Structure 1
Amino acid sequence: MSEKNSNSSFKIVAVIAVIAIIAGLFYKFTVGTYNKIVDLDENVSSAWSQVENQYQRRLDLIPNLVNSVKGYAKHEEELFTSIAEARSKAGGIVNIDSSIVDDPQKFAEYQKIQGELSAGLQRLMAVSENYPELKANQNFLALQDELAGTENRIATERKRFNDAAKAYNTCIRKFPESLVAERKGFEKKAYFEAEAAASKAPVVQF
């Protein structure tokens, strides 16, 4: 083999080796980035399930809480009806899967309905101030205390969800991770927004 042919063969092998190295690095980057995004996506889903659990916990408390108040404030029927309607709405969507976080419109509707329920409970707590005997009822006090704890857990889990969603959203927007995210169809997650005054957690006083 002539020296010229030998050099040509060496160059071909070198080019193939470089291409193989680049391809290997690209594959490693793609797989590693994809797995990273999947992990962050799973964190969002896990955080969402905890938010749902706490909203469900609150949903389960409402019938007993309302019945306790009814025993002392029978003429507050309009309030009881509004809470029942808000609970019915919330009950219709509280167990939806985590795909809602990929749809800003559905997510906003979910938050709105939960906010309406919070506002109703806030009014219920305010009504209890007018009935000293109700405020002294041990069963009501226990339910009130449990509701307060649940509202605190809801706030905590919402923050954890927002933190997980922020980490995910930041990752898929950064270059070069954005290349993999776009190619694989990873979408931005919705956040819980700060609630209006009417939708804040019920104020529980003892």
Structure 2
Amino acid sequence: MESTGIIVLVIGAALLFYIASIFNKLISLKNRGENAFAQIEVQLKRRHDLVPNLVESTKAYLTHERETLEAVTSARNTAITDLKTAARNPTSASAIGNLSRAESALNSALSRLNVVIEAYPELKADQTLIQLNEELNSTENRVAFARQAFNDCVTSYNIYKQSFPPVFLAGFFGHRANAKLLEFADSEALQVAPRIEF
């Protein structure tokens, strides 16, 4: 009877350690995702800080393009609000979805502003505007890299959570919903080859 008790105790301890390792791995993957989102947050804040400078630099030239400037400012403010909400809970699918839509709207508004700027050669040649555009492009690249890192972490978390045997324990440990990837509208457009017509 003693050897049976020892075997049961060893199996129980091994099972307990295995369950603890699943719990620890889920927490680790969740925290990596939150850290990766924090990197996105830093880059998006940098981008959001550049937008008012861009708007101010173009105001003198674009007095009759007020609607475009207001759209950029409004889209920026919405993106800031949604970024703060998502930063509080980066695993919330609705918060990430709202942030994705807000950033897509900001991208769209900035694209419209760039089209307007193209119509003003003296504005396009302005050194301040050139520097701001370079910083904005650099920040866009950083956002893309940070978003890819975040999406990689989210994918790893979701795969582990849905695999066997963690799938049976994840809900018990509070990991019920899948984390949502951060996708912007431009990510789909980038995958479509440009069409050239003569």
Q: Give the letter aligned to residue 169 of structure 1.
A: N
Pairwise CA distance, 1:179: 2.4
C-alpha distance in structure 1 between counterparts of 2:156 and 2:45, whole Å: 26
What SS does structure 2 have at the residue aligned with 1:102? coil
1:193 to 180, 183, 190: 183
C-alpha distance in structure 2 between counterparts of 1:179 and 1:198, whole Å: 34
Is the contact made by 1:40 and 1:168 (CA closer than 8 Å) also made in structure 2? yes
Taking the TM superposition and a 5 Å limit, the aligned residue runs for 1:53-202 are 53-96=42-85, 98=87, 100-187=89-176, 188-193=178-183, 195-196=185-186
Supply the RMSD in Å over aligned alpha carbons: 1.9
- TM-score normalised by structure 1 residue count: 0.85
Number of the residue aligned with 1:21: 10
1:34 correspondence with 2:23 = yes
Is the contact made by 1:116 and 1:199 (CA closer than 8 Å) also made in structure 2? no
What SS does structure 2 have at the residue aligned with 1:96? helix
What does the per-residue CA deviation read over 1:51-85, in whole Å, with 9 as the maximum and x for residues that have no partner?
Answer: 11111111100111011111212110010111111
What does the per-residue CA deviation read over 1:131-175, in whole Å, with 9 as the maximum and x for residues that have no partner?
Answer: 111111111100010000011111111111000000011001111
Is the contact made by 2:82 and 2:95 (CA closer than 8 Å) also made in structure 1? no
- TM-score normalised by structure 2 residue count: 0.89
In 2 relative to 1, CA 154–197 (structure 1 residues): closer, same or farther, beyond 3 Å? Answer: closer
Residues paired across the two proteins, number:
189
Q: Give the letter aligned to residue 77 of structure 2.
A: S
Which ranges of structure 2 fall in alignment gaps of 5 or more residues?
Answer: 191-198
What does the per-residue CA deviation read over 1:107-151, in whole Å, with 9 as the maximum and x for residues that have no partner?
Answer: 211110111011111111111111111111111100010000011
Larger radius of gyration: 1
C-alpha distance in structure 2 between counterparts of 1:90 and 1:45, whole Å: 19
- Return 127-136 or 105-114, whichever deviates more: 105-114
What percentage of aligned pairs have identical amino acids? 30
Is the contact made by 2:86 and 2:99 (CA closer than 8 Å) also made in structure 1? no
Is the contact made by 2:33 and 2:150 (CA closer than 8 Å) also made in structure 1? yes
Is the contact made by 2:104 and 2:184 (CA closer than 8 Å) also made in structure 1? no
1:47 correspondence with 2:36 = yes
C-alpha distance in structure 1 between counterparts of 2:157 and 2:48, whole Å: 29
What SS does structure 2 have at the residue aligned with 1:193? coil
Pairwise CA distance, 1:194: 5.3
In 2 relative to 1, CA 98–184 (structure 1 residues): closer, same or farther, beyond 3 Å? Answer: farther
C-alpha distance in structure 1 between counterparts of 2:152 and 2:76, whole Å: 27
C-alpha distance in structure 2 between counterparts of 1:145 and 1:139, whole Å: 10
- Return 89-98 or 128-137, whichever deviates more: 89-98
What SS does structure 2 have at the residue aligned with 1:73? coil
C-alpha distance in structure 2 between counterparts of 1:117 and 1:131, whole Å: 22
Q: Give the letter aligned to residue 65 of structure 1.
A: L
